[in-house]
A and B are shown apart, each in its own frame.
Chain A
Amino acid sequence: MHIRRYVYPNGHIAIKNFKVKFSGNAFLKGKTGSGKSTLLRMLNGLIPKFYSGKLDGKIRVFGKEPNRKDVFFISQNPEEQITCMNVRDEIAFPLVQRGLSVSDARKNAEEIANEIGISHLLDRDVFHISTGELQLVEIATALASQSKLIVLDEPFAHLSKKNALRIVRILKDFNCVCGEHRLEFEEYFDITINLGIECKGYPEIHVEKEETDKMIEISEIIGFDLRKHELVAITGDNGSGKTMMLKRIALEMKKKGMSFSIVLQHPSYHLTEDKVEREVKDRFLKDFELNNISNKHPQSLSIGQMRRVAIAKAFNTEILLLDEPTAGQDYDFRNKLIYLLRKYKKTAIIATHDETLIQKCDRVIKIDDYNNK
């Protein structure tokens, strides 16, 4: 891959003077907006065939022009990859498109599902499973596709560590390029390509917790109370019901007439204005590093940037319910989020798989244990 210059259709230069040779399985890291997704999309020809723009350079995959037959690409949002109603058919879909009979394709899909450990999902509808489970299904789709190279854009963003490690081990047997922010998995890959990682380091802020009698009684149903300025992490395996729990807490708090904000995994649900500066209050723009994009339309940003805008918007209230806030965020922001929550003395319940984030929270609720109670 030798790119002298790639210019987006809107005239913005995305990549300049970049040269790399991928082999085996490669790990691609870089801060949000560094061009990881753009690079990955070049490998199967999505750029410039699908997204256009001006590409000056040369890309060869197994000695050929980038093409979708040899390279299978999975984007970072699994819900946007859905093509069938049922999990079994979803995994079989690319094989059927390659000319395999439906029964053979389904058989292959079942084998891959067994290998990944999602055979229990095979008969379920894709829209009834969690985002993490859907991510696993889409990875299974890629593995079943019989492509020579698999390109994954943030495949571990929604996965629990256990599931992510299982995928990493399976990927060892495939040629793959994996763009990812969760650096804990870097060591499992043959080579690493760094597009620039920033790690500023943030001071630890200690916020005085209120006395136990000043608690937010969020629920008799949910079964736990929240102290003022407390950061609570909800963890659990994929499909354990973290998002569901967060939604139940939100409904409970609404019933009690409390003011709070909830940020779901899909950030575009929250963005309704035509400029970032209209979504986010001025004082949060700088803290969330949104100054440079304050004039842009929120829906035109990358998923990571959109999520940042959605979280910054939620900072208007004191209590925040955040669902996977660090998914798709770079290493620096993952550390910064806790710093900002402490700085603005927020109270938050965070559903997450991110172990760095979990460690910095005041309290951890494991949803698997909670469900067993």
Chain B
Amino acid sequence: MINKIEGRTAIISAMFLSTSVYLSKMNPVISLTIFFLSTIFTRGLSIKILRSLLFIGILILLSGLFFDPKYALKAFFAFIAIVSSGSLIYSSSLNEIFGALIFFKIPEKFVAIISIPLSLLPTALNDLRNIRFVESFSIDIDSVDSSNNSVNGSNSNIIHLSVNTNKIIIKRIKRIYRLLKALVSVTILRSISHSEALYSKNFNYKVIYEVRSVTITDLILLFLSSSLLFFSIILGCFQFRPL
């Protein structure tokens, strides 16, 4: 727990770093510095998050190429920087983030409302993983004639899914459609049941939160992110050309 970034530090640093991207007018040096800083302080977690969101970055890069390759690259780096700075919050404990929000005088009722869906996020991800797992084995109801099925280990008797190469794309689209249908259904059912659970548990808009004192690592992060913000302001002023 103590290895994680303290909640208030995480929020302030993330704000400083993402503001730096904007104030420096998406300067690639600033963006890359933010990326390295976040990678060090989140112990590589930011790279994992970036990897999962890489497709959005590539979309930004590709769409930017239609206008100006230089701008596309700047926007791509800015995207990396924004996601990296956001990962600072993700690398902190959720209870500390709630504690930080209450410390910054955000109403407890509001924090309570956002705390519930955030706590459920891992369950939703588990659902997605399980549905993908189940769907990866699914076969069309009519494509199997169980009278011919065999469970024998020899290859001649094993049923291989009859996949016509011409139909692969249609099958994949169908699979994604089925996956989405199952996910939406599960999510709706989960929402109803979760609201039932909140009713039963007497939910009264109270939050379980923590506030702990900052460590030397947190102070270093705060110092570096505020320095970067200061530097970005100067950089932005020099780049500012009103006429």
A222 to chain B, nearest CB (A): 14
Q: Which of B181, B190, B206 contacts A96 (CB 8 A)?
A: B206
Residues on B with beta carbons closer than 8 Å to the beta carbon of A216 = 151-153
Residues on B with beta carbons closer than 8 Å to the beta carbon of A270 = 134, 182
Question: B137–A260 contact, CB under 8 A?
Answer: yes
- The answer to whether A318 and B198 touch (CB under 8 A), given A256-B158, A313-B141, is no
B207 to chain A, nearest CB (A): 8
Residues on B with beta carbons closer than 8 Å to the beta carbon of A141 = 201
Q: Which of A74, A80, A228 contacts B152 (CB 8 A)?
A: A228
How does the 8 Å CB contact mask read for A256-291 relative to B, with 1 for contact and 0 for none?
Answer: 111111101010111110000011010000000000
Interface residues on B, range: 35 or more
Residues on B with beta carbons closer than 8 Å to the beta carbon of A250 = 133, 137
- The answer to whether A257 and B190 touch (CB under 8 A), given A127-B122, A216-B153, A269-B127, is no
Q: Which of A46, A96, A262, A347 contacts B137 (CB 8 A)?
A: A262
Whole-angstrom distance between the alpha carbons of A46 and B150 in the complex? 49
Q: A238 contacts the other chain (Cβ, under 8 Å)?
A: no
Residues on A with beta carbons closer than 8 Å to the beta carbon of B119 = 82-85
Whole-angstrom distance between the alpha carbons of A267 and B123 in the complex? 15
Question: A318–B146 contact, CB under 8 A?
Answer: yes
In the complex, what residue of chain B is closest to A265 when comparing beta carbons?
B130
Question: A85–B94 contact, CB under 8 A?
Answer: yes
Q: B113 contacts the other chain (Cβ, under 8 Å)?
A: no
Whole-angstrom distance between the alpha carbons of A68 and B218 in the complex? 43
Residues on A with beta carbons closer than 8 Å to the beta carbon of B182 = 268-272
Number of interface residues, chain A, beta carbon within 8 A = 68
Whole-angstrom distance between the alpha carbons of A313 and B94 in the complex? 40
A278 to chain B, nearest CB (A): 8
Residues on B with beta carbons closer than 8 Å to the beta carbon of A299 = 185, 188-189
Whole-angstrom distance between the alpha carbons of A247 and B194 in the complex? 27
Question: B202–A68 contact, CB under 8 A?
Answer: yes
Q: A235 contacts the other chain (Cβ, under 8 Å)?
A: no
Question: B131–A269 contact, CB under 8 A?
Answer: yes
Question: A316–B139 contact, CB under 8 A?
Answer: yes
B99 to chain A, nearest CB (A): 10
Whole-angstrom distance between the alpha carbons of A69 and B123 in the complex? 27
How does the 8 Å CB contact mask read for A83-127 relative to B, with 1 for contact and 0 for none?
Answer: 111100100111011110010010000000000000000000101
A214-237 interface with B by 8 A CB criterion: 214-217, 225-226, 228
Residues on B with beta carbons closer than 8 Å to the beta carbon of A215 = 153
Chain A interface, >50% SS class: mixed
Q: B63 contacts the other chain (Cβ, under 8 Å)?
A: no
Q: Which of A214, A217, A266, A318 contacts B130 (CB 8 A)?
A: A266
Residues on B with beta carbons closer than 8 Å to the beta carbon of A271 = 182, 185
Residues on A with beta carbons closer than 8 Å to the beta carbon of B208 = 84, 89, 92-93, 96, 102, 105
A124 to chain B, nearest CB (A): 12
In the complex, what residue of chain A is closest to B209 when comparing beta carbons?
A102
Question: B194–A269 contact, CB under 8 A?
Answer: no
Question: A269–B204 contact, CB under 8 A?
Answer: no
How does the 8 Å CB contact mask read for B155-174 relative to A, with 1 for contact and 0 for none?
Answer: 10011110000000000000
Q: Which of B94, B144, B193, B194 contacts A259 (CB 8 A)?
A: B144
Residues on A with beta carbons closer than 8 Å to the beta carbon of B186 = 266, 268-269
Q: B126 contacts the other chain (Cβ, under 8 Å)?
A: yes
Residues on B with beta carbons closer than 8 Å to the beta carbon of A268 = 182, 185-186, 189
B88 to chain A, nearest CB (A): 18
Question: A81–B197 contact, CB under 8 A?
Answer: yes
Residues on B with beta carbons closer than 8 Å to the beta carbon of A258 = 151, 158-159
6 contacts between A and B (CB under 8 A): A68-B199, A72-B201, A80-B193, A216-B153, A256-B158, A316-B146
**B interface list, Cβ under 8 A from A:** 94-95, 116, 119-120, 122-123, 126-127, 130-131, 133-134, 136-137, 139, 141, 144, 146, 149-153, 155, 158-161, 178, 181-182, 185-186, 188-190, 193-204, 206-210
